[in-house]
Chain A
Amino acid sequence: MADRTAIIIAEPASIPYFPGCTLKSHAPHFERSALASAGAVGLELVEMPRWVCCGTVYSMATDDLMHQVAPVRNLARVQAAGSERVVTLCSMCYGTLKQAAALIEREPAKLETINAFLTRDAGEPALEGRVRVMHLLELLAEEPRARALQEAVVRPLTGLRVAPYYGCTLVRPAEASLAGAGENPGLLEEVLAALGAEVVPNPYATECCGSYHTATNPEIVARRAHAIIEGARAQGAEVLAVSCPLCDFNLDRRQAEVRRLYPHFRPMPILYFTELIALALGLEAPAAEGRLVDPRPLLARLALVGAAA
């Protein structure tokens, strides 16, 4: 442990962290496991003192500049707090903030309009220049943390066949994609491999989960979830690693509808990638709380956790 700490202290890093709404309501285990895991590799995620809604689908679905105020306001606050970077966990937050950052860089006139609103009407700081929006995956894949992560593993996920699942907002559009790598970033694969898991290729990694159709037409989502889970299973996967609370909801909680549509369907656990990191680093084991499919029997079978309660 002492050696590892030495590496970590070589580059202490603290970075403002934008949580977003879901992590504070439905997905506390995502946030908890992420903060703990980041801390273990020398990365201090400091929650922004004041943050507002990222803008969610509104900022991405319409051309109305008003909907860009929320993400830009958040970026301006990051800058006002003295940072040029901000990190997110939720894929949706990442997508909205990063696309807003790309938009105002591409169209400075729009930034001027939003700044005018922020300073004159809202009495807030303007956004000058750029703020780099990052996802935790990008930080974990960078040195020295990538090595620190590998070295911090105390319980390798040996034998766990996990399929990475990116969903959409981490990889599309290309200008807002993880590490600018488009639809094939490979970061989840790297991180999961560093944990000792057996990463299976997942052709469905960037297929749509059905997104907000879950609110009005759950059957569409259930059919998507079925295709995605069975596609991953055909490659040998036993568990899907996700980074988006909405994907998590659609792939996990909607498995009840999947079973109604496909009687022979066998459930598959869905986990946030940070839960797998926390498990491998010996920080905490994934819990059953808030989930439909209990991951513990699978993990217990591989002796990664004690027998399920």
Chain B
Amino acid sequence: MKRVGVFVCHCGKNIARTVDVERVAKELGAHPGVAFSQTYVYMCSEPGQALIREKIAEQKLEAVVIAACSPTLHAMTFGRAVEKAGLNRYLMDMANIREHCSWVHADDSAKATAKAAALVKSAVSKLQQGRPLTPIRVPLTRRAVVIGGGIAGIQAALDIANGGHEVYLIEKSPTIGGHMAQLSETFPTLDCSSCILTPKMVEVKQHPNIHLLTYSEVKEVSGAIGNFHVTIERKPRYVLENLCTGCGDCVPVCPVVVHNEFEAGMGSRKAVYIPFPQAVPSVYTLDMDACYNTDKLVVCENCYKACGPKAINYLMEPEIIEIEAGAIVLATGYDLMPIAKIDEYGADAYEDVIDSLQFERMLSASGPTGGVVRRPSDGKIPKEVVFIQCSGSRDPAHGVPYCSRVCCMYTAKHALLYRHSVPGSQAYVFYIDIRSDGKGYEEFVQRAIEDEKILYLRGKVSKVFREGDKLIVWGADTLSGQQVEVAADLVVLAMAIVPNEATKALARKLKVTTDEWGFLSEAHPKLRPVETMTAGVYLAGAAQAPRDIPDTVAQASGTASKVLSLFANEELLHDPQVASVNSELCRGCGYCLAVCAYSAISLEERLVRGHRMQVATVNAALCNGCGTCAATCLSGAIDHLGFTDKQILAQIEQLGEGA
């Protein structure tokens, strides 16, 4: 029998007001196996911890029960305290006599005291069966993979790389830059978006610590924090990156014209293209889906012939790259809800009903209209434009009850830039509320309303339809209580921000949880905003929730600091309270594999008493100690270290004594 010490905390009056702590200490002092028992007013305070350390040495204690609050609050504190006195921290246990006794039985002191004594005794019984455990040392690969090359991924990659660590930045499209590269100006300062983004893109390309993999997708992720194994497919761009000089000689000779994704479908590009002149890397891509050639047949060699450095290769194959990394940052961005989802606004039937990204491209000096606002249908300059905020957002009927956060601000910007661009024009904005909570945001909206004479109408639009060459917009002005009809030349919908499909697929691969709409879930909405519930996987940007550029950049830097603090360690220590298999009892049924949420168990062939057997084997570094496998095991072959069946049964037996 181990010599157990019992330390009963008053927690000021929190416990002592209800539980007769002296009586508990006295009763435990006489309990079999208890060598020492004492109370103290604040056991977690430094004098309280000193008392524990002193008594461990003086009384030669081999295990310690702290009767106090919840272990979620102070198990770490007391673990460290007993360790300083040379005791293994897994031979310390806490009996929760505050939340489980004094707080919930405040009206019955006698029963609360009896329950407290019973809980402490059961903790003593548990420790009598306990064994010392040693934290598991796990090597740490100090290299990060950042998925997504928008402003979130760019910022996170730069910060981690500047911290001195290697970063792989993975982007599925031919260039980094993301949606921010499509924007014209940014609110509320009206900085040119490209002008502030492009230098960062170039910095990524030139950074010695960043490996940039564009036109690439993450195929598979295995492993855990410190040691992820990431499989990446580099899609064939049919242009050799190391030979392409970005001269563009291939473009004029290409006979294929298709919609340009970068121009939000408004402009065109050739089958061989660069998304925009400032793209990084400054390398052309051949879109084989659009090209006349196939992998079986080459019918057009125009680009090959035009290419000076002979960078075109029609037979390029996908390439698989395997990367070991210690941390992964998810910065996969967002999509706009398609206009087609909204029947009442024409469901994509009218060319002159466009979404906000299309309008951004129109405002952009490098956009398809050269910065002149023109209607897509006939190229005329619109004299009256209606902007509809909350197109899909805050609208459960369209499946998006949340606010998309950025639309109030960019719509004010759109209306203002439009008014500047077309003299004598009129802009209307339909809104539910104006949400302008950022620095300088409210002033910006007021400027749009007052100085630019933009007509803000508080109400929803019920219908948009074409009559002649006008778009008739029916809405309500709830402030005057009137129905409003506007004959507009162009309608711009501030479509809801929705998670993109790639994010959802990636979340499944990484076992990262998402919310009911598909945005990535943070570990704690207030206190752990950039971590996920999967250790080692971090978040940045609108993949987690709609957010604007300043918030995205701040969050990306926050994520990078989390990665850097992880990488400050030489190796990782893993809690040893994990599942452990008794291979002599295991019959290899594999039920435990099926229930393990962390893929920590595998069946491996072992020699057991001279027989070759399939036996469950736990990868302790992956095990999260949830105990599901131990509960599932029909043979009782799996034990949860620190909570073995022996320990739990001893506890239950002891609790039965008092009944």
Cross-chain contact A184 with B463 (CB below 8 angstroms) = no
Which of B75-83, B442-450, B464-472 participates in binding chain A? B464-472
Chain B interface (Cβ < 8 Å from any Cβ of A): 343-344, 347, 463, 465-468, 472
Interface string of A201-228 (1 = CB under 8 A from B): 1010000000000000000000000000
Number of A-B contacts (CB under 8 A): 15
- How far is A231 from B474 in the complex, measured between Cα atoms in Å? 13
Enumerate chain A residues within 8 angstroms of B465, measured Cβ to Cβ.
201, 203
Please, how many angstroms separate the alpha-carbon atoms of A203 and B472 in the complex?
Answer: 10
Task: Assess the A183–B344 pair: CB atoms within 8 A.
Answer: yes
> Could you jot down 7 A-B contacts, CB within 8 Å?
A182-B343, A184-B343, A203-B463, A203-B465, A231-B467, A234-B467, A235-B467
A183 to B465, CA, bound (A): 14
Q: Which residues 174-215 in A have Cβ within 8 Å of B in the complex? A: 182-184, 201, 203
CA distance A234 to B465 in the complex (A): 12
Q: Which residue of A is nearest B474, CB measured?
A: A203
CB-CB < 8 A to A235: which residues of B? 467
8 closest Cβ pairs, A-B complex = A203-B465, A184-B343, A234-B467, A203-B463, A183-B343, A203-B472, A235-B467, A183-B344
Q: Which residues of A contact B (CB under 8 A)?
A: 182-184, 201, 203, 231, 234-235
Q: Which residues of B contact A182 (CB under 8 A)?
A: 343
CA distance A118 to B179 in the complex (A): 63
Query: Complex Cα distance A201/B343, Å?
Result: 13
Name the B residues within 8 Å of A184 (CB-CB).
Answer: 343, 347
CB distance from B56 to the nearest CB of A (A): 66
Whole-angstrom distance between the Cβ of B465 and the nearest chain A Cβ = 3
Measured in the bound complex, the distance between the Cα atoms of B472 and A276 in whole Å is: 30
The distance from the CB of A164 to the nearest CB of chain B, in whole angstroms, is 14
By a CB distance below 8 angstroms, the chain B residues around A203 are 463, 465, 467, 472
Q: In the complex the two chains form, what is the Cα distance from A17 to B467 in whole Å?
A: 39
> Nearest CB to that of B465 among chain A residues?
A203
- Smallest CB gap from B463: residue in A: A203
* Min distance, Cβ A45 to any Cβ of chain B, angstroms: 31
B344: chain A residues within 8 A (beta carbon): 183
Starting from the known contacts A183-B344, A203-B465, A203-B472, 12 additional A-B residue pairs (CB-CB under 8 Å) come to A182-B343, A183-B343, A184-B343, A184-B347, A201-B465, A201-B466, A203-B463, A203-B467, A231-B467, A234-B467, A234-B468, A235-B467
Q: What's the minimum C-beta distance from A166 to chain B, rounded to whole angstroms?
A: 13
Contacting residues, chain A, for B468 (C-beta < 8 A): 234
Residue of B nearest to A183 (CB): B343
Q: Which residues of B contact A201 (CB under 8 A)?
A: 465-466
**Closest residue on chain B to residue A201 by CB atoms:** B465
B464 to chain A: closest residue by CB = A203
Closest beta carbon of chain B to A202's beta carbon, Å: 9
**Best-surrounded residue of A183, A203, A231 (most CB of chain B within 10 A):** A203
How far does the alpha carbon of A184 sit from the alpha carbon of B347 in the complex, in Å? 11
Q: Which residues of B contact A231 (CB under 8 A)?
A: 467
A250 CB, min distance to chain B CBs, angstroms:
20
A230 to B: closest C-beta gap in Å = 10
Q: A182 to B472, alpha carbons, bound, how many Å?
A: 22
Least CB distance, B648 to chain A, in whole angstroms? 46
In the assembled complex, how far is the CB of residue B391 from the closest CB belonging to chain A, in whole angstroms?
Answer: 17
Closest CB of chain A to B343's CB: distance in Å?
Answer: 5
Residue of A nearest to B467 (CB): A234
B344 nearest CB neighbor, chain A only: A183
Chain A residues in 8 Å Cβ range of B472:
203
- Whole-angstrom distance between the Cβ of B351 and the nearest chain A Cβ: 14
Residues of B within 8 A of A183 (CB): 343-344
Q: How far is the CB of A180 from chain B (nearest CB, A)?
A: 14
Chain A hits for B467, CB < 8 A: 203, 231, 234-235
Q: How far is the CB of B454 from chain A (nearest CB, A)?
A: 26
Taking CB atoms, residues of chain A closer than 8 Å to B343 are 182-184
The residue on B at minimum CB distance from A204 is: B465
CB distance from B468 to the nearest CB of A (A): 7
The answer for the CA separation of A235 and B349 in the assembled complex, in Å, is 15
Bound Cα distance from A183 to B545, whole angstroms: 31
In the bound assembly, the distance between CA atoms of A31 and B515 in angstroms comes to: 52
Closest to A182 in B: B343
CB distance from A6 to the nearest CB of B (A): 38
Give Cα distance in the complex from A255 to B78, angstroms.
Answer: 88
CB A179 to nearest CB in B, in angstroms, measures: 14
For the complex, give the distance between the alpha carbons of A182 and B465 in Å. 18
Q: Which residues of A contact B347 (CB under 8 A)?
A: 184
The CA of A184 and the CA of B463, in the complex, are separated in Å by 12
Contacts of A234 in B (CB 8 A): 467-468
- In angstroms, Cα B463 to Cα A290, docked, is 34
Least CB distance, B348 to chain A, in whole angstroms: 13
- Shortest B394–chain A CB gap in Å is 19
Closest Cβ neighbor of A174 among chain B residues: B397
State in angstroms the CA–CA spacing of A6 and B335 once bound together. 51
Shortest Cβ distance from B397 into A: residue: A174
Q: How far is the CB of A234 from chain B (nearest CB, A)?
A: 5
A234 to B466, CA, bound (A): 10
Closest A residue to B472 by beta carbon equals A203
User: How far, in angstroms, from A183 to B472 measured CA to CA in the complex?
Assistant: 18
Q: In whole Å, how far is B342's beta carbon from the nearest beta carbon of chain A?
A: 11
Q: Least Cβ distance of B222 to chain A in Å?
A: 44
Q: Which residue of B has the minimal Cβ distance to A184? A: B343
Q: Which residue from chain A places its CB closest to the CB of B343 in the assembled complex?
A: A184
A182 to B398, CA, bound (A): 12
**Interchain CA distance A231-B463 in the complex, whole Å:** 13
Measured in the bound complex, the distance between the Cα atoms of B465 and A203 in whole Å is: 6
**Which single residue of chain B is at the shortest CB-CB distance from A235?**
B467
Nearest-neighbour CB distance to chain A for B377, whole angstroms, equals: 16
- Once bound together, how far apart are the Cα atoms of A182 and B344, in whole Å? 11
CB distance from A266 to the nearest CB of B (A): 18
B630 to chain A, nearest CB (A): 44
Residue in chain A with minimal CB distance to B347 = A184
Find the B residue at minimum CB distance from A203: B465
Interface centre among B343, B344, B465, B468 (most CB of A within 10 A): B465
Q: A201 to B466, alpha carbons, bound, how many Å?
A: 9
Would you give the shortest CB distance from B550 to chain A, in whole angstroms? 39
In the assembled complex, the Cα of A5 lies from the Cα of B472 at a distance in Å of 46
How many angstroms between the C-alpha atoms of A70 and B597 in the bound complex?
Answer: 55
Q: Which residue of B lies closest to A202 (CB)?
A: B465
Q: Once the chains are docked, how many angstroms separate the CA of A235 from the CA of B472?
A: 12
Rounded to whole angstroms, the CA-CA distance of A183 and B343 in the bound complex is 8
User: Chain A contacts of B463 at CB under 8 A?
Assistant: 203
Taken together as a complex, chains A and B put the C-alpha atoms of A234 and B347 apart, in Å, by: 21
- A223 vs chain B, min Cβ distance (A): 13
